[in-house]
A and B are shown apart, each in its own frame.
Chain A
Amino acid sequence: METILFALSGLSLVMVGIFGILTKKNIIKILLGLNLMETGINLFVVAMGFFKGGKTPIITESFTASTMHFVDPLPHALVLTSIVIGLGTTALALTLTLNYFREHKHIEFRGDNA
């Protein structure tokens, strides 16, 4: 049940992001929606490896031998990659937004200037 709640809360963030991307016209708000989607996907991937009572996947003196106490560490590693790539793409997108602003003096997608 906890895992389902975890996964569904991540997916609800994805839904908020999709709604923002589809309806907003300001480029900054679209980027915010993209980042919300990315965060939701990251939470969802982490939720895939979660089970109730799972410990942090670090070997300490309390949890020495078996790895079965731990939540699945593989999604964590994948999400680490995803976060860094999201940062890079966001920086690049903001730069493109700045160039758009210099060209058009606004950052809204309007119907008249195509």
Chain B
Amino acid sequence: MRRNESLIHIAAFLLVIGLSAVLYAVFTDTRPGLKALDASLKERVSYHYLLKTAGNPAQPAERKVTVGKSGYEDGSANIVTAIVVDYRALDTLGEVLVLFAASAGVGLLMSKRKRKIETEASPIVTTAVPMIMLFAVVVGLYIIFHGHLSPGGGFPGGAIIASAYMIQFLAFRKKFSGNLFKILESLAGLGILGMGLAGLYTEGSFLANFLPTGELGAVFSAAGIMILYALIGIKVASELSSIIGHFIGEK
């Protein structure tokens, strides 16, 4: 038994060493030809599809979106957000569905269980937690609604709001009724589907951006992205809160 274990360790070590040697050889190859990391900048997707200009900040009239080769652009200053929620929004819909499946699976497999440790939280905790909760909710909303301007968006913002729910759950052990999260999640999912169908009806493709782009860099620009990210934030927050509730257990 012992001997087998050490043999497995040696075999795994040799496998890892071999794989590392192959990868190192691939990435430090100096012979002529196209290398693994050698793609020219003009072969990137963003070169063909993202031609935006913020113009001269002194003249707000110039701060508009230049239509690129694709013909459709949105007013998001954050290009990653533009890709996630607009150009590849169908991916994001699938991602949200995967998260929903994980949340439903956790709810199905985690039968009701009682918490074993029952201690009252100290006054320091019960005083500090509401303030931290308020702060966390405000930061989460800020990150959700600035997803088109700064790093962030619906997913991290939703996770921050779910963490606010988690700390109140740990401190006060108050659980919202199980149906609240389901209702919120279903409404947000239906909203995302409704946005997709509206894009299909007006622009001819599912989840297309049909709302006005606005002025690039303003808070209320890229209306479609803002609405979609708000819906995604609600959905992610309720799903993660439901997972957290299942993990911590009931009283």
Instruction: Please report A residues at the B interface, Cβ cutoff 8 Å.
Output: 3-4, 7-8, 11-12, 15, 18-19, 22-23, 47-49, 51, 56-61, 64-65, 67-68, 70, 72-74, 76-77, 80-81, 83-85, 87-89, 91-92, 94-96, 98-99, 111
Residue in contact with A77 in the complex, picked from B54, B84, B99, CB distance below 8 Å: B84
Query: Within 8 Å CB of B102, what residues of A?
Result: 87-89, 91-92
Residue B243 interfacial (CB < 8 Å): yes
Query: Within 8 Å CB of A65, what residues of B?
Result: 52-55
Residue in contact with A88 in the complex, picked from B8, B47, B57, B103, CB distance below 8 Å: B103
Q: Is the CB of B92 within 8 A of A81?
A: yes
Take A4-B28, A80-B155 as given contacts and tell me if A67 and B98 are in contact as well, using a CB distance cutoff of 8 Å.
no
Residue B171 interfacial (CB < 8 Å): no
* Inter-chain CB contacts under 8 Å: number: 140
Q: Which residue of A lies closest to B50 (CB)?
A: A67
Q: Is the CB of A77 within 8 A of B83?
A: yes
CA distance A76 to B87 in the complex (A): 14
Q: Shortest distance in angstroms between B128's beta carbon and chain A's nearest beta carbon?
A: 27
Residue in contact with A67 in the complex, picked from B13, B56, B79, B101, CB distance below 8 Å: B79
Take A22-B15, A92-B106 as given contacts and tell me if A11 and B23 are in contact as well, using a CB distance cutoff of 8 Å.
yes
Binds A, one of B38-46, B114-122, B132-140, B199-207: B38-46
Query: Within 8 Å CB of A74, what residues of B?
Result: 44-46, 83
Instruction: Please report B residues at the A interface, Cβ cutoff 8 Å.
Output: 1, 8-9, 11-13, 15-16, 19-20, 23-24, 27-28, 36-37, 41, 44-47, 50-57, 77-80, 82-84, 88, 91-92, 95, 98-99, 101-103, 105-106, 109-110, 149-151, 155, 216-217, 236, 243, 246-247
Q: Shortest distance in angstroms between B74's beta carbon and chain A's nearest beta carbon?
A: 12
Q: Is the CB of B54 within 8 A of A61?
A: yes
Q: Is the CB of A80 within 8 A of B84?
A: yes
Query: Within 8 Å CB of B15, what residues of A?
Result: 18, 22
Chain A interface main SS type: helix
Q: Is the CB of A76 within 8 A of B80?
A: yes
Q: Shortest distance in angstroms between B60's beta carbon and chain A's nearest beta carbon?
A: 12
Query: Within 8 Å CB of A4, what residues of B?
Result: 27-28, 37
CA distance A14 to B170 in the complex (A): 34
Query: Within 8 Å CB of A60, what residues of B?
Result: 54, 77, 217
Q: Which residue of A lies closest to B13 (CB)?
A: A19
Q: Is the CB of B37 within 8 A of A59?
A: no
Residue in contact with B95 in the complex, picked from A56, A84, A91, CB distance below 8 Å: A84
Take A88-B99, A111-B1 as given contacts and tell me if A64 and B55 are in contact as well, using a CB distance cutoff of 8 Å.
yes
Query: Within 8 Å CB of A23, what residues of B?
Result: 8-9, 12
Q: Is the CB of A84 within 8 A of B55?
A: no
CA distance A87 to B243 in the complex (A): 11
Take A8-B23, A73-B46, A74-B46 as given contacts and tell me if A88 and B101 are in contact as well, using a CB distance cutoff of 8 Å.
yes
